[in-house]
Amino acid sequence: MILPRQELLKGCLDPQGMEALLVQAETVLRTWQPSWSAFVSAPLREQALHRFSTLTDLHWHADGGHPGAERQRLCCWRSEDHHHPTPSQAAPIHGLLLHGNFLFDSPSPTDLRQALEAIDAQPEQLGDLWIRGDRGAQALCTPELAVNLDGRSSKVREVEITCEAVAVAQLQPPAHRLTRRLNSVEASCRIDAIASAGFGLSRAKVVNQIKQGHLRLNWEPVRQTSRELVVGDRLQLQGRGTLKVLALEMTKRQRWRVEMLRH
C-alpha cells in the first residue's frame, strides 16, 4: 500500500508532526511491526486519527498514561496483524516527579517544560504535566527520558527543581471528569460569558484566566475576552477540563440560550 501523502498533509495543522506519523505508518506497512509514536498534541492526534481512519490497512490506538490525557502516544499496526497491542496494554510511558519549593513563586506548566528542555528533554518526549501544590509537579514522559532525567536538576527562575523517575502508578493525575450537558441563558456569545457559565467561575476569574494564558480556544491561546464563540468551538481551561458549544439559539428576549458539553 502506498500512502496518499499529499492528501494526508494538505492543510495539516502540524505538517512536521504529521510527517513523523506518516513515516511511522510507512515503516509499519513495510516491516509488519507495531510501532509507538512520540507524544503528540491533542489537535494533531485528532486530525491524524481522522485522516488515517480512511486507510483500511492500518489501525491506530492512542494512550497518554491517564484517562483524559491531552498529549498522547499513537500505536500503529497493520490490520492483518493479530499480535498488535490491545487497548488494555499500556503505552511505553513513565512517570516523573519534579520536586521544588514554589511557595513564593508559583510556576506554570510551560515554565516547567522549559526547565526540562533546558536539560535536554525534547518536547515530543514529554506528555501531560500538572502542578501539585507548592512542592512541585508531576509529568508523564517516555521511558528513555525518565532514565535520562532521573536525579538531574534544573531551575525555574530562582527555584531549583529535581527530577525523580517513578512508575506511572505512583502519580496522582488530575481527576477525570464525567461528561455533563449544561444549559444557560447569556446576554452574548462572548467567550468570557460562556466560559463563566460552563466552568462555574465568576466572569472576573475567567478574565484573569484568559490574561494568564490558562484558557484556550480550540487548543490555541486566546487573549480577547470579547471573542464571540460559535457552535463547535471548544474551550480548554487548565485544571477544569474541556467545554464544547453544542448549540446557540436566540430567545424572544434577545438573549442567547447556550447548550454545552463539559468533560
87 assigned to some structural domain:
no
Residue range 158-216, pLDDT digits in tens: 999 999 999 999 999 987 778 899 999 999 999 999 999 999 999 999 999 998 888 99
pLDDT higher than threshold 80 for residue 49: yes
| pLDDT of the residue at 80 | 85
Question: Which of 148, 170, 192 marks a domain boundary?
Answer: 170
201 assigned to some structural domain:
yes
How is residue 56 written as a grid cell? 483500511
34 in helix, strand or coil?
coil
238 assigned to some structural domain:
yes
Instruction: Verify that 22 and 63 share a domain, yes or no.
Output: yes
Instruction: Verify that 52 and 121 share a domain, yes or no.
Output: no
CA dist 156 to 6, 85, 159, Å?
42, 38, 5
Instruction: Verify that 64 and 26 share a domain, yes or no.
Output: yes
Instruction: Verify that 121 and 154 share a domain, yes or no.
Output: yes
Query: How many distinct structural domains can be found in the chain?
Result: 3
Instruction: Verify that 64 and 98 share a domain, yes or no.
Output: no
pLDDT higher than threshold 60 for residue 59: yes
Q: How far apart are CA 45 and CA 52, in angstroms?
A: 10
28 assigned to some structural domain:
yes
86 assigned to some structural domain:
no
CATH number at residue 244: 3.10.290.10
The confidence band for 68, taking pLDDT boundaries of 50, 70 and 90, is confident
| pLDDT of the residue at 149 | 97
Q: Are 220 and 210 a contacting pair, CB within 8 Å?
A: no
Structural domain range at position 158: 94-170
Question: Which of 50, 78, 106 marks a domain boundary?
Answer: 78
Dihedral over Cα of 223, 225, 226, 227: its sign:
positive
Burial pattern 96-126, b for ≥16 Cβ within 10 A else e, equals: bbbebebeeeebbbebbbebbeeeebeebbb
Residue range 107-126, pLDDT digits in tens: 889 999 999 999 999 999 99
Q: What is the pTM of this model?
A: 0.84
CATH number at residue 52: 3.30.1370.160
pLDDT higher than threshold 90 for residue 77: yes
- What mean pLDDT is reported for the chain? 92
| pLDDT of the residue at 221 | 85
Identify the bridge partners of residue 224 per DSSP, sorted by sequence position.
none
Question: Which of 22, 50, 78 marks a domain boundary?
Answer: 78
Instruction: Verify that 134 and 157 share a domain, yes or no.
Output: yes
| pLDDT of the residue at 84 | 65
Nearest to 100 by CA among 139, 142, 144: 139
Instruction: Verify that 124 and 147 share a domain, yes or no.
Output: yes
% the chain with pLDDT above 90 = 75
What is the DSSP-derived secondary structure letter of residue 261?
E
Q: How far apart are CA 108 and CA 122, in angstroms?
A: 18
- Range scoring the smallest mean pLDDT among 3-12, 146-155, 156-165: 3-12
CA dist 233 to 105, 186, 259, Å?
33, 16, 12
Other CB atoms within 10 A of residue 11 CB = 7
Instruction: Verify that 63 and 131 share a domain, yes or no.
Output: no
Instruction: Verify that 228 and 159 share a domain, yes or no.
Output: no
Residue range 132-149, pLDDT digits in tens: 888 899 999 999 999 999
83 assigned to some structural domain:
no
Element (H, E) at 193: helix 191-199
Burial pattern 132-158, b for ≥16 Cβ within 10 A else e, equals: eeeebbbbbbbeebbebbeeeebebee
Instruction: Verify that 185 and 163 share a domain, yes or no.
Output: no
109 in helix, strand or coil?
helix
For helices 203-211 and 191-199, give the axis angle rounded to 10 degrees.
Answer: 110
84 assigned to some structural domain:
no
pLDDT higher than threshold 80 for residue 85: no
pLDDT higher than threshold 60 for residue 88: no
Element (H, E) at 24: helix 15-31
30 assigned to some structural domain:
yes
Q: Are 243 and 181 a contacting pair, CB within 8 Å?
A: no
Calculate mean pLDDT across residues 237-250: 91
Q: Looking at the chain, how many residues does it have?
A: 263
